[in-house]
Amino acid sequence: MPRKHPKSFARPFEAVEPPRDTEVLIGVVAMTALVMVLGALSESPVWLLGLLVFLPGAVSALGTVRQTKFVFAWTTLVVIVTMLVRHGDGRPWLDRILMVLLTLALGAASVYTCHRRISREHEMLRLRSTATAMQRQILRPLPMLTDDVLVDGVYEPVQEDRLVGGDIYDVVVSPWGTRVLIGDVQGKGLPAVGAAFAVIGTFRATAHREPTLTALVDALDASVVRHNSYAAQTGDDERFVTALIVNVDGHEEVQVINCGHILPQLVHDATVTMPALAAGVPLGLAELAAEPATVDWFAFPPGATLLLTTDGLTETRAADGTFYPLTERLTQRATLSPTDLPRALYDDSRVFAGEGGQHDDVAVLSVRRSPTR
């Protein structure tokens, strides 16, 4: 059985951290003192009180409802006291009443706005928690250690608040070895997630049942075809899925079927090579292929690492249009541990793209062959 380490790819989402009560108190007192000093120097304190009226609104954008209520009460008290103290300055009482009413109206609106903001934040946190739970069901937390391999990796949607993108992966321990899937669903959005569900669900169910990779790929292709038939009934676009299915067992050679996906890279003794694989068709398009999917074999010695990635890494581009040189950067980092390699490549690709570059969802897996069986 696989041994999982408690690490998830989903980054935690938190609401806006409110300022401390002491910070709010110091800020409000300082602003009040500044307004009073400026009012005394300019001999127009009543007009400068208008600056204090907007204090509750400023606090409502970052603070809590309790802090906003405190600033509202403080501002109202300061305005009323100032109006009473300055009753002999000849200013009409109507102006004073309007100032108090404006303070009350803006303060009440600020409290209401703060309450709505916090409610929306809590709702967003609940939705993101649901999305995180959904991600953990679709994409298993990594690393995963089996008798055959150590699989680690990084998954990063291009939009941080989306959590689940079009890239997929999974690891299943079967009676015929450890089977690893990495794939890329065509398109974006919820329809792509639906296709991802179909492929991963079928992979988890079938990888335990089918003794051959060809039968497993046939089942995955059929799942995409069924998903597309349902999508057509609802008016959604049909999808195909590029995928790479790897089977590692006690033999030194590894079995791979390439369904139109990015070729893997083999790292062994600080040397990087790209195994030659037959170019199959993506899942969902098998009926268009002239020949059925075939299994490729190549040497995967103990201690070697197989790097699997989606095109989000290879198609990362700098501002001048240059594509990310994966093989070159991988060679420079060939001595890294399999747990550090995926994150190092991902971070390097983002630095390579820079501010004006282009990047997409990325999934990078490192599959390290166990030294001994």
CB 118 within 8 A of CB 110: no
100 vs 247 pLDDT, higher one = 247
Reduced to 3 DSSP states, what percent helix, strand and coil does the chain have, rounded to the nearest 5?
45, 20, 35
Rounded to the nearest integer, the mean pLDDT of the chain is 82
- Compute the residue count for the chain: 373
pLDDT tens digits, residue range 112-144?
A: 998 898 888 888 777 666 665 666 667 888 889
Tokens of 243: 């995928």
pLDDT at residue 236 greater than cutoff 70: yes
- Residue 176 above 90 pLDDT? yes
pLDDT > 70 fraction of the chain, expressed in percent and rounded: 83
Q: What is the pLDDT of residues 258-313, one digit of tens each?
A: 999 999 999 998 899 999 898 889 998 888 877 888 899 999 999 899 999 998 88
Confidence label for 330 from pLDDT (cuts 50, 70 and 90): very high
Domain 142-369: homologous superfamily in CATH: PPM-type phosphatase domain (3.60.40.10)
At residue 157, what are phi and psi to the nearest 5 degrees? Answer: -65, 150
Give the pLDDT mean for 232-242: 82
pLDDT digits (tens, 9 = 90+) for 16-70: 578 888 888 888 888 888 877 776 666 655 556 667 778 888 888 888 888 889 9
Which sign does the torsion angle of CA 106, 107, 113, 116 carry?
A: negative
Contact partners, residue 73, CB within 8 Å, separation at least 6: 107
What local confidence, expressed as pLDDT, does residue 180 receive? 96
Q: What is the pTM of this model?
A: 0.68
